[in-house]
Amino acid sequence: MRTQSKIVGGLALLMAVGLISPVIAAEKKAAKAKAEKVSGDIGLLDTEKNYMIVVTKDGKLVTVDFNQKTKVTALRPSAAKMSDIGLGSKASVQYTKKGGKNYLNALEYIAKKGGD
């Protein structure tokens, strides 16, 4: 009887590992997502909801989310905050796609002329 319960327990463990392995592999693959870049004008910047829209030269709108850890650099160069960026500023954005959303990794911008 003990041998049977050990065999059943071992099979249950193997099945659990077999079911969990694809999930772990998918998470590792998502963690290594390739960062993408886009350049254009800042069309919208919402520092309360933590997202922005970049308008490319060909009119494509790219929405990216950000957080407090997002690296922002003014091309003066100096450290900056998301709230420092004005609408219409030229920007180069690096982002990663996760779960159907684009998450901002880094942003470099040039302030719009006539404002900062």
Q: Please write the tens of the pLDDT for every residue from 27-69.
A: 555 567 788 889 899 999 999 999 999 999 999 999 999 998 9
- CB under 8 Å to 14, separation ≥6 — which residues? none
Q: What is the dihedral of CA 59, 94, 53, 76, to 10 degrees?
A: -100
**DSSP assignment, residue 89?**
-
Amino acid 116: pLDDT = 46
State both tokens at 71: 């690296």
pTM over 0.95: no
pLDDT > 70: percent of the chain: 68
Q: What amino acid is encoded at 11 in this protein?
A: L
Q: Is 57 helix (H, G, I), strand (E, B) or coil?
A: coil
Per-residue model confidence as pLDDT tens digits over 101-112: 999 999 888 887
Q: What amino acid is encoded at 92 in this protein?
A: S
What is the chain's mean pLDDT, rounded?
A: 78
Amino acid 86: pLDDT = 87
Q: Is 31 helix (H, G, I), strand (E, B) or coil?
A: helix
**DSSP assignment, residue 34?**
P
Beta strands at 101-110 and 71-74: parallel, antiparallel or unpaired: parallel
